[in-house]
Amino acid sequence: MIPFPTRARIISVASGKGGAGKTNVSVNLAVAFAQAGDRTLLIDCDMGLANAAILLGMPSAWTIGDLLAGRCGLDDLLQTGPAGLRFLPGHSGTGTGSTLSAAERARLMEALQPHLADYDQVVIDTGGGLEASALALVASADTPLIVLTPEPTSFVDAYAVVKALNVAHGTSDFDIVCNMVRHDVAARQLFDRFRAIAGRFLDVELNYAGAIPTDNYVKEAVLRKRCVVEIFPGAPASRAFGALARRLALPAAAMPPERIFAEVSHGAH
C-alpha cells in the first residue's frame, strides 16, 4: 500500500438525488475555505451532469473524463478560481455514468497523489444517487457531509444515503448541513427530526454542521454563473458558508491518508 503524504482534510458532499443544492454547497464551501486562507482543492466527481464549473463561471476545454482518457494531463486540467481555489472540473455529457468507476478513481488518485500535500482542504462534489461508486467516494472521506433540505424528498433521500453508507461501508459518523432553511431554529428542528428517525433504525452519529438559509442572492449568483460567497460576500448565505467552513476546519481525527485513497481506489466496482 502506497502512503499518501497529505494533511488535507477530505470532505465528500452528498445528498442522494438532485434538488438539495449539493453542488452549490460544495462550491461555496470550497471557496469559503480558500477565502479563509486554506489551500483548497475542489473536485467535481460528477461524470454525467457536472455543474460546479458553471457555478464558478469557469468553463473548461478539458474535464476529468479527458484526464482519465489520457487526452490531457493534470496540469492542463487544474484551474485557479476565486481566492486561489484550485478546481478539477467534472464531465458533463452523454455516454458516461454519473460517477467514477473503481478503475477511474484509481487513475484519478494516481494523478493527484504527487500534489495532495499542497492542500489543507479537499472538497469532493460527488455524483448523485446511490451508486456504489458514489457511495465509496463519500465513505472514504474524513468528513461525509450530507446536504439536507426541508423538502420531504430530500429527507427521504438523505436517510437513504446515510443508511446505504452505514450498511455497505460501516460509516457511522456523518456531518449534516441543513440547506435552504428559513432560519437557524427551523434548521435545528429539521436536524433533530432527521437524527431521531435515523437513530431509531441505524447505529450512526449525526453531527449538526450548520444551516444555509434560503437567500435570493444565491439565485442571483447562479444566474450570473458565479458563487454567492464571491460576488455577494455580505449575503446571509455567504456568511453561513463562512461559518460552515470555520466549523469544518476545526481539528478532527482524520482517517489515515493511505486508507482514504485505498478505499477510494478499491471500495466499489
Phi and psi (nearest 5°) for 206? -105, 130
How would you class 1 by CB atoms within 10 Å of its CB: exposed for 0-12, middle for 13-18, buried for 19 or more?
exposed
Classify the C-alpha dihedral 152-154-160-165 as positive or negative. Answer: negative
Instruction: Give the mean model confidence (pLDDT) for residues 39-64.
Output: 87
Q: Which three cell numbers stand for residue 84?
A: 486561489
Separation CA 41–CA 16 (nearest Å) = 23
Separation CA 260–CA 144 (nearest Å) = 12
| Residue 141 confidence (pLDDT) above 50 | yes
Instruction: Give the mean model confidence (pLDDT) for residues 110-118.
Output: 84
- Model pLDDT, residue 102: 75
Starting at the earlier edge strand, list the strands of the sheet with 40-44: 79-80, 86-88, 40-44, 121-125, 9-14, 143-148, 173-181, 205-213
pLDDT in tens, 58-103: 988 888 888 888 899 888 899 999 999 999 998 765 444 556 777 8
Least confident of 14-28, 165-179, 242-256: 242-256
- Model pLDDT, residue 92: 67
DSSP string for the chain? -------PEEEEEE-SSSSS-HHHHHHHHHHHHHHTT--EEEEE--SSB--HHHHHT---S--HHHHHTTSS-HHHH-EE-GGG-EEE---BSSSS-SS--HHHHHHHHHHHGGGGGG-SEEEEEPPSS--HHHHHHHHTSSEEEEEE-SSHHHHHHHHHHHHHHHHHH---EEEEEEEEESSHHHHHHHHHHHHHHHHHH---EEEEEEEEE--HHHHHHHHTTS-HHHH-TTSHHHHHHHHHHHHHTS---PPPHHHHHHHHHHS--
Q: Which three cell numbers stand for residue 160?
A: 437513504
Least confident of 103-107, 119-123, 196-200: 103-107
Please list, residue by residue across 215-227, b when 16 or more beta carbons sit within 10 angstroms of its beta carbon and e when fewer do: bebbeebbeeebb
Residue spans per domain, the chain: 9-266
Separation CA 182–CA 174 (nearest Å) = 23
| CB 83 within 8 Å of CB 242 | no
- Model pLDDT, residue 5: 39
Least confident of 8-17, 125-134, 253-262: 253-262
9-266 CATH, one of 3.90.550.10, 3.50.50.60, 3.40.50.300, 3.40.50.1110: 3.40.50.300
Least confident of 9-18, 100-109, 210-219: 100-109
This prediction's pTM: 0.88
pLDDT in tens, 158-214: 999 999 999 999 999 999 999 999 999 999 999 999 999 999 999 999 999 999 999
| Residue 143 confidence (pLDDT) above 80 | yes
| CB 76 within 8 Å of CB 27 | no
- Model pLDDT, residue 230: 97
- Model pLDDT, residue 132: 74
| More confident call, 265 vs 109 | 109
- Model pLDDT, residue 200: 96
